[in-house]
Structure 1
Amino acid sequence: AAFPSHVKFNLPDDKPCRYLMLNGCECEPFLTCDHRVMLEYAGELLDGLAILQSFVEAEEIYIAIENNKPDAIETLRRAAATSPLPIQVVGLQTKYPQGAEKMMITAILGQEVPSGKLPIDLGVLVANVGTVVAISQYFRQSQPLIERVITVTGTAVGRPTNLLVPIGASMQEVVDYCGGITDDAARILLGGPMMGVVQKTLDIPVVKGTSGILVLTENEVRDLTTYHCIRCGRCLDACPLFLNPARLGLLAKRGQWEAMEELNVLDCFECAACSYVCPSAIPLVQSFRVAKGIIREKRARAKTAN
């Protein structure tokens, strides 16, 4: 999500950190950049955790990794065994969206983050793999965040791979380095197929929040016709937060933003599971994203007016 680390780690005095968690789940299909970082930067990862721990003074430290990455689990368990910190490397069930911090917290602690609250309200601080490595590189090598590992993949990419790329590099140059894209390339995504953003051009830079470039072929992309909701309930079963996407989608269509806020649309972290299972191809998550933006804008205006 590229949330500013200086804001997340600057904890209020009345909300101490009890649990420090490293999110190595990487549940988004196609993306493997965090996986490679855990394998190739294990030492810096543990060092970054130690630096962060000295700042937040957590009582327990967890490294969460999905079970489909046994090599990463083994690598970090070996590294953690040599660390003086009380680090537990936890293998979690491989399922989407396990990498969402609220899902990960529930899987590890058995506690749910209440609606409208943040993980720190439970004493939990969640850090990303790349962020923790960057912390180590900054403190030990005086190197600011000038590069990051990204995944360049998809059946329309000549040579899919993970690359260490300078921040600001042209995505077109990155893709060209990977053999370019095939003639049947039909869609470019920044990120994965579930939470990624469709991009019309590669003439844009790599930024701190760029996790991957995914290029799909015509056979993998379908422009579906949207139909009316048939009340099948699949979206309710798919939503990991037990929201009511069908109802929220109807309210979004009517522009009833206040009603959507009352139904906790701001809790949605846009995993797109509802859109994925919808047989009517209703763009649910897209409408929720718009609604959240409007609600937050209204809140900001009201705060400024007061």
Structure 2
Amino acid sequence: MLKTFSLGGVHPAENKFSADKKIEILPVPEEVIIPLGQHIGAPAAATVKKGDTVKVGQLIAQAGGFVSAAIHSPVSGTVVKVDEAIDASGYRKPAVYIKTEGDEWDEKIDRSEKLVKTCNLDSKAIIEKIKDAGIVGLGGATFPTHIKLSPPPGMKAEVLIINGVECEPYLTSDHRVMLEKSDEILVGIEILKKALNVERAIIGIENNKQDAIKLLTEKAIAYQDIEVVALKVQYPQGGEKQLIKATINKEVPSGQLPIAVGAVVQNVGTALAVYEAVQKNKPLFERVVTVTGKSLKQPSNFLVRLGTPIKTLIEAAGGLPEDTGKIIGGGPMMGKALVNTDIPVTKGSSGILIMQNEEAGRKPMQNCIRCGKCVNACPMGLSPYLLMVLGEKDLHERSEKERIMDCIECGSCSFTCPANRPLLDYIRLEKGKVGSIIRNRKN
């Protein structure tokens, strides 16, 4: 019997239209816009100014605090300005604009295809190199990787769990990376094990990716204590706490992080980025992005430089269909509608979903019928219907007691609600308010 998590979950239509489409390298754009807040935590601080010339891989913004990440130029050229740009949510945020001139890379980057297996660095040096490369979680959360690899005092990692689940409908970028960069991923896992000083690693992959399971299982034989685990197809299996439950049968206590049960979770794309940073001196300045949708001519997986306008990717996939109702950054469950297509690709851009008019429109909201479906679907054991009401009434203290901060924003509640109530929207808003109250209390 296939492993999975035990509480809640749903099974939306998978719609993995681009699963068999090999990764294509998109041409370098004429200009890039590089937001300085591409990660959880404080925005990076620009180290360049108007008129500066930069190379591919050159540092252009340093970490702006303890929880932050460095940013590197994805192109070579001239800095046009350091100003503001509209982000995926429609807010103006600090950004660096660079006009592309050629494609000159930093000399330290090893551009050869040769696989470099041996890593002679110790744990501290590996983590420092990952930090310098600006690597963050590429599964969407964008938490700075070097912090995850440095457990707080009194806590120790016992197992590394690699997230190859990609349970979000439509998205296939992780799937293609596993198929096309399996050797690099496995070396990256070995490096992550060394950084954490752990012996054991588990790669969790949902059972709808049989080719990836087979390939990585065969290649993992050459490595010690790397196990590939096939998982039942169940959303949101890619959530850290759900993946930990599915693979090692441990539950992360409320309000705590995976390290509390000795686990550290990293995405497969992050493992690849770690390999490239440590073995090839390549900072994180490009990533694989899925562009997909039911009406799209050519659903695709692109390797794209950060800062590339999203409209460039859509054009490369055949252009915007006439029946487009909404453009989503990410997948349909956890993604967010984009305000326009000039928004640039960032470290957290796993996919672009073009939704048809008929599926993009919201159905009229009706009164809650107390059916309990949202409660049964919640993988965190919460009561979404109640949290929505508490948010509407600004009952923040009660929301906190009802564990609103445990919500992983997976959208299972909204997906299963027969009354079409926008549960996740209200919970996200209330979660933001409660989180602010908690932070102010600590200060």
Q: Which TM class, normalised by the smaller chain length? A: over 0.9
SS at match of 1:210: coil
Letter in 2 for 1:296: G
TM-score when normalising by structure 1: 0.97
Alpha-carbon displacement from aligned partner over 1:59-92 (angstroms, at most 9, x marks no partner): 3210000011010001111111112x21110001
Select 2:308's aligned residue among 156, 169, 189: 169
Shift of 1:155: 1.9
Structure 2: distance between partners of 1:224 and 1:257: 28
SS at match of 1:120: helix
Structure 2: distance between partners of 1:150 and 1:140: 23
Shift of 1:17: 0.5
Select 1:258's aligned residue among 397, 403, 419: 397
Alpha-carbon displacement from aligned partner over 1:157-191 (angstroms, at most 9, x marks no partner): 22111010101111011111111111111110000
Structure 1: distance between partners of 2:268 and 2:387: 33
Greater mean alpha carbon deviation, residues 208-217 or residues 273-282:
273-282
Structure 1: distance between partners of 2:306 and 2:295: 24
Alpha-carbon displacement from aligned partner over 1:178-218 (angstroms, at most 9, x marks no partner): 11111111110000010010113111000000000000111
- 1:137 equivalent in alignment to 2:276: yes
CA contact (8 A) 2:374 2:416 kept: yes
Backbone CA RMSD of aligned residues: 1.0
Between 1 and 2, higher relative CO (CA 8 Å, sep ≥ 6) is seen in: 2
Give the gaps of 5 or more residues in structure 1.
none
Select 2:438's aligned residue among 290, 299, 304: 299
- 1:68 equivalent in alignment to 2:208: yes
Q: How many residues align?
A: 303
Residue of structure 1 equivalent to 2:182: 42
Residue of structure 2 equivalent to 1:96: 235
SS at match of 1:20: strand
Structure 2: distance between partners of 1:259 and 1:222: 32
- 1:119 equivalent in alignment to 2:258: yes
Shift of 1:300: 2.0
SS at match of 1:16: coil
SS at match of 2:368: coil
Structure 1: distance between partners of 2:310 and 2:442: 39
Structure 2: distance between partners of 1:45 and 1:90: 16
Alpha-carbon displacement from aligned partner over 1:120-140 (angstroms, at most 9, x marks no partner): 000000001111100100111
Structure 2: distance between partners of 1:260 and 1:293: 11
Greater mean alpha carbon deviation, residues 140-149 or residues 294-303:
294-303
Letter in 1 for 2:392: K
Residue of structure 1 equivalent to 2:349: 210
Letter in 2 for 1:69: K
Select 2:152's aligned residue among 12, 18, 22: 12
Letter in 1 for 2:169: P
SS at match of 1:214: strand
Shift of 1:226: 1.2
Alpha-carbon displacement from aligned partner over 1:243-284 (angstroms, at most 9, x marks no partner): 111111111111111101101111110110101111121111
CA contact (8 A) 2:325 2:361 kept: no
SS at match of 2:157: coil
TM-score when normalising by structure 2: 0.67
Select 1:30's aligned residue among 150, 165, 170: 170
Structure 2: distance between partners of 1:113 and 1:33: 28
Letter in 2 for 1:2: T
Residue of structure 2 equivalent to 1:53: 193
SS at match of 2:440: helix
Letter in 2 for 1:78: E
CA contact (8 A) 2:193 2:199 kept: no
1:72-83 alignment, distance < 5 Å: 72-83=212-223
SS at match of 1:64: strand
Structure 2: distance between partners of 1:241 and 1:300: 22
Shift of 1:221: 2.3
Deviation >4 Å, runs of 4+: none
Shift of 1:302: 2.3
Structure 2: distance between partners of 1:221 and 1:45: 36
Structure 2: distance between partners of 1:217 and 1:247: 31
Aligned sequence identity (%): 43
Structure 2: distance between partners of 1:165 and 1:149: 6
Letter in 2 for 1:11: P
Structure 2: distance between partners of 1:241 and 1:37: 29
Shift of 1:57: 1.3
CA contact (8 A) 2:414 2:422 kept: yes
Select 2:429's aligned residue among 284, 290, 297: 290
Shift of 1:13: 3.1
Letter in 1 for 2:214: E
Q: Which structure has the greater CA radius of gyration?
A: 2
SS at match of 1:292: helix
Letter in 2 for 1:51: I
CA contact (8 A) 2:327 2:353 kept: yes
| Structure (1 or 2) with the greater helix fraction | 1
Select 2:333's aligned residue among 194, 211, 216: 194
SS at match of 2:177: helix
Alpha-carbon displacement from aligned partner over 1:2-24 (angstroms, at most 9, x marks no partner): 11112211212311100100000
Structure 2: distance between partners of 1:66 and 1:179: 29
